[in-house]
Every structure is written in structure tokens, then in C-alpha cells.
Amino acid sequence: MPLHDKQIPPNARCSHCDGAGWTWWTPADAPEEAKWVVCRECLGTGRTDKKGRKRQKPEDPAGS
């Protein structure tokens, strides 16, 4: 794990993405084209304070 993508303390994690910085998005009209998108709540940092670098994109979809 790169240094800029290290663990975020539980009390500082974004509640929307749980600190990942990314969310799995599935369009309603084409579910086969689902993809990772940057979390809009934390702007990809994974932190509630929105400070820091954007987190690395996950490899697998959530729950797989």
C-alpha cells in the first residue's frame, strides 16, 4: 500500500464511502457499464475534512 493511501482513522473517514475515496456507480440504463467514480462527499480523499491526496481506485467492485 503506497504511503499516500494508508489507513484513515475511523473517526476521520468519510461516511459516504467509508474512507475508500471511491464509490461503485451503476447507470440505470446500462448496468453492464458500472464503474468506480470519485466520492463526491470527500472529493476522493476518503476523509471528512477533505484534506489529503486522492485515494487509489479499488481493483474490484464493492461486494465482489
38, containing H or E segment: strand 35-38
Q: How far is CA 44 from CA 23, 30, 37, in A?
A: 9, 24, 9
Q: Which residue type, as a one-letter code, is found at position 33?
A: E
Tell me the pLDDT tens digit for each residue of 9-58.
Answer: 999 999 999 999 999 999 888 878 889 999 999 999 999 999 888 999 88
CB neighbours of residue 29 within 10 Å:
5
Confidence of residue 3 (pLDDT cuts 50, 70, 90): low
Output the pTM of the full model.
Answer: 0.75
C-alpha cell read off for 37: 467514480
